[in-house]
Amino acid sequence: MISTPIDTDRLPDDGHATDVEIARIVHNPPALVNYWASQATQLRSDMLSSKACSAAMVNERTCGVASVGPKLPREKYPGAIPTLNGRGFMLKSLDPYSSAFVDYAGSTDAPVLDMGCAYGVATLAALAKGASVCACDMDAGHLAILEDCVPGEQRPRLTTQIGMLPDVDFQAHSFGAILASRVLHFLTGDDVERAMKKMAAWLKPGGQMFLIADTPYMRTWSASVPAYEKRKREGHKWPGFLPDFSKYVPDGTDPTSHPEFLNPMDPDILARLCNEVGLNVIRTGFMGLQRGGSPVQGNEHAGCEAFKAIA
């Protein structure tokens, strides 16, 4: 993982975005650039690609108050901002499952959790919908950038927590919805199962879980697809697991800047994980890469939406 921030000059007085503004934000990656321009002055109007706002201009502006903390890195690939911890990228546009989380977050009175939020692309969109959000990430720098970007009137509805799965903890029945976008594939199988048990416990009865993971079909490690498909036919539990991810990093890339291993997943795995912890699957499926300018096959990401039954 996973939204687009808000142009506060266009918000109503109550700090909530209108449906028109949310549509502009969710489907317009350049709105993120406009909102975070002061954090990354290298980003410019050539990144405008949204049909909805094709005539928009990217202006440098402050992101909340002037920040003396970490700065948002420049894009390494179109639509993808590298994380500060070298564990991948935050995608600037919302995929369908992250968008569903944002919509659901705005409809529930309970707080929601953005797990592994990075710079808070989904958090910012959910706050604009009126949600109360706990943004959790392993990197304090990510959270500092996020906090600096939240409009003042929305800050009382944001809490942040430093932590990572499967070790971080919250009280049972704390959240009405949980988003874990592009997080689980950084964990071993055992840790994925521990994380799923915890997240299921954190959900309130009736709450919803939204999961997104990279699949074996991502171009960078697509050479592993034949082995993945063979292991899947043979019934392996984690058929996409890559114990030595350095074999798949692009030429000229420092392997130490990437994870040691990766655990790509498919929709069947995400559905199984939800079922194993007692969640009821609403939908699951493949999605195309949500990164502008890259070839899209339609199966680079997997998503799953599930709910916790009311006893």
Note the pLDDT tens digit of each residue in 118-150: 999 999 999 999 999 999 999 999 999 999 989
Distance, CA of 209 to chain centre: 13
Q: Which domain holds residue 211?
A: 76-215+265-308
pLDDT tens digits for range 93-119: 899 999 999 999 999 999 999 999 999
In a domain, 95, yes or no: yes
- Tell me how many domains the chain contains: 1
pLDDT tens digits for range 159-174: 999 999 999 999 999 9
Here the CATH number for the domain that contains residue 272 is 3.40.50.150
CA distance 132 to 123: 9
In a domain, 239, yes or no: no
In a domain, 66, yes or no: no
In a domain, 301, yes or no: yes
Find residue 179's DSSP bridge partners: 114, 210
Helix (H) or strand (E) holding 112: strand 112-115
In a domain, 33, yes or no: no
In a domain, 12, yes or no: no
In a domain, 15, yes or no: no
CA distance 226 to 220: 14
In a domain, 171, yes or no: yes
